Amino acid sequence: MGLFDFLKKKPEPQQQEEIQALEQGLEKTSTGFFSKIGRAVVGKSKVDEEVLDELEEILLTSDVGVATTLKIIQRIEQRIERDKYVSTEELDIVLREEVAALLEENQSSSLVNAFAEPKQKPYVIMVVGVNGVGKTTTIGKLASQFHQNGLKVILGAADTFRAAAVDQLKLWGERVGIPVIDHGMNTDPAAVAFDAVKQAVEMNADIVIIDTAGRLHTKVNLMTELGKIKRVIQKFIPEAPHEVMLVLDGSTGQNAFIQAQEFTKVTEITSLAITKLDGTAKGGVVIGISDQFKIPVKYIGVGEKISDLQVFNKTTFVDSLFAKK
């Protein structure tokens, strides 16, 4: 499928509710984006160096990130040079196309249904992320949606250094009717992971989601802990964990970049969940993180409801980001 087919493809009718939630979630980013672009081009008929300087500032303040911003500006400059002229009226169209192309390059395939039955069972997801990013809530929402799809899910409360994390995960389990394996606070996280995977194998579960400690006080301690958790999991399932998901708070902008950098230094991250996009005008962070880390953005959070944790789809994301109100 070509780039323009990608841009023009219309969503299926059943996606309308999710698309509406996504547009509402990205409204602050989208509104800020276009109001600033509108001010940047007022009184001008073509995109010149001054307009590009303004656009660069707009992208940076939307937390697209320096490297990705420069890449987008360079691509627009190449378009101007090639086409000899780009009007200010065309700027948002050109920008949309370049953002879409960037996501197309960095996300070679969209996930059709990330909540579907996994091919490998039990499919083990280890979740990492600092405290406060919405890690445990994301796990609860993930588990709920898997459960709604008829899958058997087990949760492992291995963030044992924070009582709230264990209690919060147990509440999610009670709310949805999903077993939660916990040993309480200040216990060995690896022992919790061991028991969670052991029970998942015995119960023939489809999914195991293991919450891990949300702290980065020293890289050595974190790496040691995550390594130990992996080793005990592999006693039951040699190829596990099948996925190591990093949860990032989109509203923190550049702090999300820093957290991604730190975690990728100590463990292999295979997927990202970016939360709290509904409370920020910095939704551009999704574009920058996708581009800079080359790790698939698998889920995005755009609201409080369970269904507001959505499978990331580049088509609907670009459509929603550039939807003029």
Instruction: Check: CB of residue 297 under 8 Å from CB of residue 274.
Output: yes
pLDDT recorded at residue 281: 75
What is the CA 289 to chain-centroid distance, rounded?
9
Instruction: State the DSSP H helix or E strand holding residue 208, giving kind and residue range, or none if neither.
Output: strand 207-211
Supply the pLDDT for residue 39.
77
Structure tokens, 167:
């209690």
Could you give phi then psi for residue 290, rounded to 5 degrees?
A: -60, -45
pLDDT of residue 218: 59
Q: Residue 105's pLDDT is what? A: 77
Query: Which of 11, 251, 208, 247 shows the shortest CA–CA distance to 110?
Result: 11
Amino acid at 258: I
What is the sign of the dihedral through the CA atoms of 73, 79, 84 and 90? Answer: negative
Q: Which residues of the chain have pLDDT under 50?
A: 1-8, 14, 108-112
pLDDT at 106: 66
What pLDDT does residue 92 have?
Answer: 80
Q: Which of 144, 134, 170 is nearest to 249 (CA)?
A: 134
pTM: 0.87
What is the predicted pLDDT for the residue at 309? 93
Give the pLDDT score at 320: 82
Q: In whole angstroms, how far apart are CA 220 and each of 137, 144, 245, 300?
A: 27, 33, 19, 29
